[in-house]
Copies of this chain bind each other. A is one copy, B any other.
């Protein structure tokens, strides 16, 4: 195990490098100008709302974590419980830090955008980079420390699955709670503000406007961060667990995913540098910086939107190139690890980017699918919805084929190299690690979006010059495009991770033959396939209920607070934040607990084979539903934006009204239910893995 330990120590070291970068970038962002008095006041309202929500959310999650930790310690081992708590804390810590910066970077982005597009991007992207790098470093440090702490114990890896479980729990509540919060606030603010009172978006007179801005951060920064924290951790855990069974040379196979993650941190930092670069940043050897600075300078000077998009894309591609080069070295240096495993990492990266590309194709308004929805808007909201559903359904085809082919090739490569199916499944897990190895930078391109969105809101509310708002809008729309990448990686990695965890579960539960026609398998698969539907039904209804309460509150304030409409009365922002928080926390309990309780119940009652069926059913069905909902939602959103560019009568036309209906339907699809399904499938898998040894053959065994 010596070589494994060495790899883990390298990973730990790189995690510390990541933390060092996070601290440095943190100082950079906070040292930026915060703009005028008015901007600061608005920003501080958002900061208060965000921290109020997070504090209350973490308190609820805290109770959950304590209960589950006690259950684990009682029925399994205290070591797993300890890992569970640490996993939860690491994920929560990364989420908290990311949010803390995001709600401070927004106002600084608005101020920087007064100078120029690239100045704004640098601040917003810096904030996203903090989120991205905290996620990967905190995860890596947590896992490696636990690995070293349990060193020598034969159950070393089993204990660490608890870390993934802890991270999953945070992810679930962050995604579901955050998703409900953000959409309830958004829909509530729009329904009364825009529709009933006829005031524009982001108008400071709207009592729900702060809740709406808080929501952007809660959902897209903390939620997405926790989601990918979980995928990242679980894919490494799954790979390491399976690695222990690949061949007799386990040390290399356990160490490999840690090493890939370690060099991924280097690659991510490189990618981030390609966007932010310039003065004061990390010192790289001159022969690199001269070339890079040239690239960056071009951006700074002519900074058109197209250039920025190229810069962001370039950074992801650059990071990918670095990871491929470095992981080749790693694979070649690892004793008894076949070259095939480098190809597997390549497959993971290509698949992730492939899914991202397809996602962008189906949701971007420059492409046919979204335009077909805009076109259908002309014949009213019904055809808008039908066409959007059709596009969403159609958009599942290539992500599924890409994933299926990636799994097939990975299994094949692994099997070729080491001659066992376990090696093949290890390869699937490793492909997931490869896909997520550049997470530090891909998450940055995603998490900066809400910061820009918030900056726009602040610019609007504090009446900054029009060109500032235009710049933040440009950054925001750029963020919408790159967000597609994030979503593609999120769902693709969720599926690979879930399957790798499933394989690890089957090994851990000591299921020898798992026939598809086993007596409890088919019922398990059917029930599993149903859970994503139940889960989505619950989360969608939750948004509706919470939004309804916001509507009532906003209406009340407009009626009861004198001079609110005229701008002389002061709206009670905190009340709306409170209602969103309340609703989100209340409504996240049932779907959240479901994900933990159902696998345990099914495993106990129907047995461990039925549970395997359940996981397969949930993974397949959840994957499809998640992609469909996310892409339909994205496409509706952009179909509206396409009309707003002046197509089919532009803003205010009947087509636009139909498009707004589509957009509103799409909101919970793409920001609540769809992304929450990623977590559902991963969490159910890791719960099963953690409790694997407790399940027998169930009550119906014969």
The 20 listed contacts between A and B (C-beta, < 8 Å) are A382-B660, A387-B544, A393-B533, A401-B527, A404-B522, A404-B524, A404-B526, A408-B520, A408-B700, A412-B700, A421-B518, A503-B517, A506-B516, A506-B517, A525-B616, A525-B620, A526-B623, A529-B624, A533-B628, A661-B661
Separation of A89 and B362 alpha carbons in the complex (Å): 42
**B534 A397 Cβ-Cβ under 8 A:** yes
**Interface-lining segment among A10-18, A331-339, A373-381, A430-438:** A373-381
Asked whether B537 lies within 8 Å of A621 as measured between CB atoms, the reply is: no
Are A516 and B519 in contact (CB-based, < 8 A)? Answer: no
Does any Cβ of B come within 8 Å of A135's Cβ? no
**Given A412-B702, A421-B517: A389 touches B664 (CB 8 Å cut-off):** no
What are the residues of chain B within 8 A of A424 when measuring CB–CB? 519
A668 to B387, CA, bound (A): 11
Q: How far is the CB of A89 from chain B (nearest CB, A)?
A: 33
> Which of B400, B425, B527, B668 is the one whose CB lies under 8 Å from A517?
B425
List the 9 shortest-distance A-B pairs measured between CB atoms, nearest first: A382-B664, A404-B523, A393-B537, A529-B620, A400-B530, A394-B537, A393-B533, A390-B540, A514-B516
In the assembled complex, which residues on chain B have CB atoms less than 8 Å from the CB atom of A397? Answer: 530, 533-534
Q: Which single member of B381, B425, B513, B628 contacts A661 (CB below 8 Å)? A: B381
With a cutoff of 8 Å between Cβ atoms, the chain B residues found around residue A516 in the complex are 506, 514-516, 521, 612-613, 616
User: A403 with B503: in contact, given A393-B533, A534-B393 (CB under 8 Å)?
Assistant: no
Known: A386-B544, A529-B621, A529-B624. A499 touches B522 (CB 8 A): yes
| Complex interface: chain B residues within 8 A of A305 (CB) | none
CB atoms of A534 and B621 under 8 A apart: no
Q: A665 at interface (Cβ–Cβ under 8 A)?
A: yes
Residue numbers in B under 8 Å from A694 (CB-CB): none
Interface string of A397-427 (1 = CB under 8 A from B): 1001101110110011001100001001100
Q: What is the bound-complex CA distance between A616 and B613, given in angstroms? A: 11
Contact with B along A460-501 (1 / 0, CB 8 A): 000000000000000000000000000000000001000100
Task: Convert A530-547 into 0s and 1s, putting 1 for each residue whose CB lies closer than 8 angstroms to a CB of B.
Answer: 100110111011011000
Question: How far does the Cβ of A525 sit from chain B's closest Cβ, in whole Å?
Answer: 5
Size of the chain A interface, CB-CB below 8 angstroms: 81
Residues of A within 8 A of B (CB): 191, 376, 379-383, 385-387, 389-391, 393-394, 396-397, 400-401, 403-405, 407-408, 411-412, 415-416, 421, 424-425, 495, 499, 503, 506, 513-530, 533-534, 536-538, 540-541, 543-544, 548, 551, 606, 612-613, 616-617, 620-621, 623-624, 628, 660-661, 664-665, 668, 700, 702
Please tell me if the beta carbons of B540 and A661 are within 8 angstroms of each other in the complex.
no
CA A407 to CA B191, docked complex, whole Å:
46
Chain B residue numbers with a CB within 8 Å of A380 are: 661
- Distance from A587 Cβ to chain B, minimum over Cβ atoms (Å): 12
Minimum CB–CB distance from A505 to chain B (whole Å) comes to 11
Contact with A623, one of B381, B529, B540 (Cβ below 8 angstroms): B529
| Set B390, B394, B624, B700: member contacting A621, Cβ < 8 A | B624
* Shortest Cβ distance from A389 into B: residue: B540
CB-defined contacts of A537 to chain B, threshold 8 Å = 389-391, 393-394
- List 18 additional contacts besides A404-B526, A412-B700, A495-B526; criterion CB under 8 Å: A376-B544, A379-B551, A381-B382, A385-B385, A386-B543, A390-B541, A393-B536, A396-B534, A401-B527, A401-B530, A408-B519, A408-B520, A416-B702, A514-B516, A515-B516, A529-B620, A617-B620, A620-B621
- A401 contact set on B, CB distance < 8 A: 527, 530
Q: Please report the C-alpha to C-alpha distance between residue A421 and residue B517 in the assembled complex, in whole angstroms.
A: 8
Chain B residues, Cβ within 8 Å of A191: 379
Are A386 and B665 in contact (CB-based, < 8 A)?
yes
How far apart are the CA atoms of A376 and B389 in the complex, in Å? 20
How many angstroms from the CA of A405 to the CA of B530 in the assembled complex? Answer: 14
Find the B residue at minimum CB distance from A424: B519
In angstroms, how far is the closest chain B Cβ from the Cβ of A396?
5
CA distance A340 to B191 in the complex (A): 59
- CB distance A517 to B514 under 8 Å? yes
In the assembled complex, the Cα of A612 lies from the Cα of B407 at a distance in Å of 17
Q: Which B residues are in CB contact (< 8 Å) with A544?
A: 376, 383, 386-387, 390
